[in-house]
Amino acid sequence: MLSIDHQRVILPIFGTFTGGLRSYNDALNLIMRRQACAVLTGKVSHVLPMPRE
Contacts within 8 Å (CB) and 24+ apart, 40-48: 40/1, 41/1, 41/2
pLDDT given for residue 32 in this prediction: 80
- Determine the pLDDT at residue 17: 64
Question: pLDDT digit string (tens) for 12-53?
Answer: 655 666 666 777 778 878 888 878 887 887 889 888 888 666
pLDDT greater at residue 43 or residue 3: 43
DSSP state for residue 39 in the 8-state scheme = E
pTM assigned to the model = 0.56
